[in-house]
Amino acid sequence: MTADEFVAACALKATGEVSTLTSDSSDYQKIVQIGNMQIDAWANEEDSDWESLYEPGINIGTVTATDTYDLDSSINRISNQGDDWVQVTHTDGKTITNFQTVPAKRLKKYDSGHYCARVGNTLKFNKVFSSSDAEYGGTITVPAYLFPSHLVNGTDIVPVDNPQWLVCITAAQWVQTDVTLAQNYANLVNEANSLMTAMKQANTAQENTVDLGPVGISTRW
């Protein structure tokens, strides 16, 4: 679903009439702005790690003589589910050190082993690396859930797994302040909630799919 199609669908849901909104109209822009706020809300929905936003290994740089590294601006949150690890691929291109992510306030408790934490927009390890460390010069990759893209142009694609949820919840927010349409609010929210439940169930089913691919290269714990 494109942004133009999304706006038209929202207007139809809210008013029951085919939209004649153009991209330069205030209502079109209002719907897009509400939609973008709801896209952000979807990305941070409680207990939902959307597989469509997941990237297994975002490169955030090279290990140098420090313990703190900037995270890529595309990263919403670091995944620590299942077999996800922050990894350092050594300079030989084969050996990997896995680092477990822990809450930032607990990182100081780990004075040995391989641990790291997100601190603001940085990734902080439990040690300052030195040139004698096996990981020195290696590449750091982070398993992450990314920020979804916003709707800007009419041809932009709605990033939500089920665009109909975004249509319903945006239409609900749009009609809430319109005295002639406010009576549609409750039904739209109920429909959106039902679609969200189905979307979460579909995402969970995808998460539980077993990957039987090759194990890959060696790991140093």
Domain boundaries, the chain: 3-48+161-206, 52-147
* pTM, rounded to two decimals: 0.86
User: Is residue 118 within a helix (H) or strand (E), and if so which, with residue range?
Assistant: strand 115-119
- 74-126: pLDDT as tens digits: 999 999 887 899 999 999 999 999 999 999 999 999 999 999 999 999 999 99
For the chain, the farthest-separated pair of C-alpha atoms sits apart, in whole angstroms, at 71
Token pair of 92 as six digits: 């030989």
Distance CA 182, CA 6 (A): 20
Token pair of 32 as six digits: 């897009």
- 46-75: pLDDT as tens digits: 888 999 999 999 999 999 999 999 999 999
